[in-house]
Amino acid sequence: VFRIVLLSPLLLGLAVFAGSSKPPAKSAKPVAASATPNVVIIYGDDVGFGDVGVYGSKLIPTPNIDRLAAQGISFSDGHCSAATCTPSRFSMLTGIHAFRYNARILPPNAPLIIPTDKLTLPKLFKQAGYQTAVIGKWHLGLGVTGELPDWNGDVKPGPLEIGFDYSYLLPNTNDRVPCVYLAGHRVVNLDPADPIYVGKTLADVQKPGSTQYPDGKTNREAMTVYQSTHGHDDSVVNGIGRIGYMSGGKAALWQEDELTDVFVGKAKEYIAAHKDEPFFLYFASQDIHVPRYPHKRFRGKTKLGHRGDAMVAFDWATGEIMKALEKHGLTQNTIVIFSSDNGPAYDDGYDDGSVVECSQEESDHGHDASGIWRGGKYQIYEGGTRVPFILRWPARIKPGLSDAMVNQIDFMASFAALLDIELPADEAVDSRDTLDAFLGDDPIGLEFMVEESFGLALRHNDWKFIEPSKPKWPKGRLPIAMALHDLGDDPSEQVNLAQVHPEKTAKMNAMLQNVKKG
Ligand code: NG6
Ligand code: CA
């Protein structure tokens, strides 16, 4: 109770916002909603519920995201489907639970995990005549199972084979090699005289004729930007230790502090080039994933070190995309969705200045990145998947707040409904049409849904059932016992009611097992 009282300003913040959110003043006459609105998903990486002003952040200014929220619907119970990146992205793009395909966090060189014959979100939009693009972090694998991707040739299959017409990527994560951009099938700026090799060990990549990078395991002093705190000690590229080894590609290396600018630049170009036709743009920012090293114009903008400053950079990026839409007269008929792939992490492998003051409360310099929700990235608690979730479509929706339970896995069925496309029964099998909730017409949304981390949980209205599991990561996490929580009374999942309500527990467990069976 103490915890809830203590943190209630967050809820208050949402309430205040509700009271003050007026529809934007209409000077021009209202524009009719198009049957094929542009759709832009601005997808954060590890952005927590409490990292956004409108969701209660006091220490990180996010004026652009807040403006988006003031013109759209902010969901208080909006979820990514899993508490880590690859599974959430897999589910959002396929409408299938990641656990069915064993979609876990991928290492460098992992093959594409979305089967090329599956229906995907971009393929759905293409059926309706859209142009489709992904810009930013991929982390869904590249290449064929059983073979290593050829970083010096055509890197495929990848996004272009699962429905995107255009792609400009960071192949894995910004803490994984190779640290290069991939445009379509090709590494950008690759010098054939300095071929790229990627592997699990130093020996895999020690090939004559390619630039060699220091091995973090034996050269910690090469980590000049900051030291790694766990893992991230394979190749040291740009003074930062990475996951995985690489050699070569020196001319192709990205610059850490330019990632945000480069992706924003590509998004602006894309919007300008496609302003006259419907498009679906999946803008997958690497912010605020580690290694955080925002451009110097953002550094010091918060008291929270690189983590907070990276969030300021992401807010700027959001504003730039909104400006680009405005510039081309696309604001009214573009659906902009702002969300994240999993809850927040502080020290996720580097000594970058984000401090966990108390592991129970998980607060960074007094900033609680998951708000009142327990836990964050990697965890089965609400903080793992309950993330900022904002949808703006001025031509169609009324701005406001919604407590409807919604999930990114339902984009497939919901956009199919919007575009009047019938989904085949064997596609997007876990996706349900919640379009009315997304558009603010249904205040309830989902009655039940699955949340995924190392184990699974089931939400049924305000109830939450957590199945027992053994978290693999971060190391040292204790096994999770079976739990039942009443989020209505206990939003921070402090009281386990499994013994108090054995029947409810059994019923929800049965529901979960039922979903698992498919
Ligand atoms: C973990 C990494 C972590 C992060 C995560 C993926 C270590 C020690 N930890 O394995 O730093 O990269 O994978 O994050 O290597 S995610 O947002 O893409 O899921
Ligand atoms: Ca993530």
Could you tell me if 170 and 259 are in contact, meaning their C-beta atoms sit under 8 angstroms apart? yes
Is the minimum distance from the CB of 105 to ligand 1 under 6 angstroms? yes
- pLDDT, one tens digit per residue, over 463-506 is 999 999 988 777 777 899 999 999 999 999 999 999 999 999 99
Per-residue confidence (pLDDT) for residue 371, from 0 to 100: 95
In this prediction the pTM is: 0.94
Residue 289 CB less than 6 A away from ligand 1: yes
- 3-class secondary structure per residue, 287-330: CCCCCCCCCCCCCCCCCCHHHHHHHHHHHHHHHHHHHHHHHCCC
Average per-residue pLDDT in the chain?
93
Ligand 1 neighbourhood includes 84 CB (under 6 angstroms) = yes
Ligand 1 close to Cβ of residue 348 (< 6 A): yes
- Of all protein residues, whose CA lies closest to atom 10 belonging to ligand 1? 105
What does each C-alpha distance from 221 to 179, 224, 239 come to in angstroms? 20, 6, 9
Mean pLDDT to the nearest integer, 226-237: 97
Res 4 pLDDT > 50? no
Mutate to test the pocket of ligand 1, among 242, 287, 292, 348 (most ligand atoms within 8 A of CB): 348
> Hey, whose CA ends up nearest to atom 6 of ligand 1?
105
| Helix and strand element counts for the chain (H, E) | 11, 18
Under 8 Å between Cβ of 73 and 391? yes
Instruction: Outline where DSSP puts E strands in 45-84.
Output: 73-79
Length of the chain (residues): 518
The whole-number pLDDT of residue 361 equals 57
User: Residue 353 pLDDT more than 90?
Assistant: no
How far is residue 309's CA from residue 124's CA, in Å, rounded to a whole number?
36
Site to probe by mutation for ligand 1, drawn from 86, 90, 105 as the one with most ligand atoms within 8 Å of Cβ, is 105
Q: Which residue is closest in CA terms to ligand 1's atom 18?
A: 85
Please identify, by atom number, the ligand 1 atom nearest to the C-alpha of residue 341. 17
Q: From the alpha carbon of 231, which atom of ligand 1 is closest? A: 8
Q: How many Cβ atoms are within 10 Å of 222's Cβ, its own excluded?
A: 17
Q: Is ligand 1 within 6 A of the CB of residue 455?
A: no
Ligand 1 pocket check for 177: Cβ under 6 Å: no
What H or E segment, with its residue span, contains residue 505?
helix 502-517
State the ipTM, two decimals. 0.98
- The pLDDT of 329-354, averaged and rounded, is 96
Cβ burial of 382 (10 Å; 0-12, 13-18, 19+) is buried
User: What is the spatial distance between Cα 393 and Cα 406, in angstroms, rounded to a whole number?
Assistant: 17
pLDDT tens for 394-408 read: 999 999 999 999 999
Q: With pLDDT > 90 as the criterion, what percentage of the chain qualifies?
A: 89
334 phi/psi in degrees, rounded to 5: -120, 130
- Quick one: the chain helix, strand, coil %, rounded to 5? 30, 20, 55
Chain position carrying tokens 């990641």: 98
